[in-house]
Amino acid sequence: MSWDEAFASRYDEWSAHMTADIAFYVSLALQADGPLVELAVGNGRVAIPIAQATGQRVIGIDSSPAMLDQARRRAAAAGVELELLEGDMRDLALAEPAALIYCPFRALLHLPTWADRRRTFERVAAALRPNGRFAWNAFAFDHRIAARLDGVHQAEPVPHTVRYAVGDNRVDLALDDGAKSSLWWATKNEWLGLLDVAGLQLEALYGGFAGEPFTDDSGEYVFVARP
């Protein structure tokens, strides 16, 4: 997994603009009949509203101790119960099959290789109830955005610079304070191929969190799949 623990200290600021996804994942959780699991739970940004809306305990898995500590403190302040586990999503194993497994804020893009993603998808498929759902979102690579942002210092949401390594499908994020993280993008067909090899079926592909149709101009993949 590509994540510098120093990034955690600026995560609140980094993720502050991302709010549209919360209602989407809450709506899926409200339809789920059984355990709820968030991969890459981070600071609980999505898990806490889901726990509040459903009244259920949410299982949150993350490889970052610093992010889990933030989630633990935020959940306590919000008066909700999260079961927070340090672990790698590639090794997902649950005591009870889940009704919903979701991975927000493009966190699957921290997995660098096809093999990493295939293993994760297969673990998810094995961990779902027969009527369960798997949901995630990821950006659709846009060469125009990459050309505009590559190497350009940006002040918002925190001072940082983005570098694109097109040959490796990689985006490197470097904060001015030295914290670093990387993302590896995938195409629509690569995501669909992962569903196929894991034995999952596509339920929906949206172009946004309001259920917009996915089109050639969409900048976001929002996927929902079933066993």
Beta bridge partners of 196: none
Question: All domains of the chain, ordered by start, with CATH?
Answer: 5-139+185-226 (3.40.50.150)
Residue 18 has pLDDT above 60, yes or no: yes
Question: For residue range 105-155, what is the model confidence (pLDDT) as tens digits?
Answer: 999 999 999 999 999 999 999 999 999 999 999 999 999 999 999 999 999
Question: For residue range 176-204, what is the model confidence (pLDDT) as tens digits?
Answer: 999 999 999 999 999 999 999 999 999 99
pTM for the structure as a whole: 0.97
Say if residues 97 and 34 touch (Cβ distance below 8 Å): yes
- pLDDT of 4: 82
Q: Is 167 helix (H, G, I), strand (E, B) or coil?
A: helix
- pLDDT of 188: 98
- pLDDT of 16: 84
Between the CA of residue 124 and those of 78, 118, 137, 180, what are the distances in Å? 28, 10, 15, 28
Q: Round to whole Å and give the CA distance between 3 and 49.
A: 24
- Give the closest residue to 78 by CA, choosing from 46, 32, 123: 46
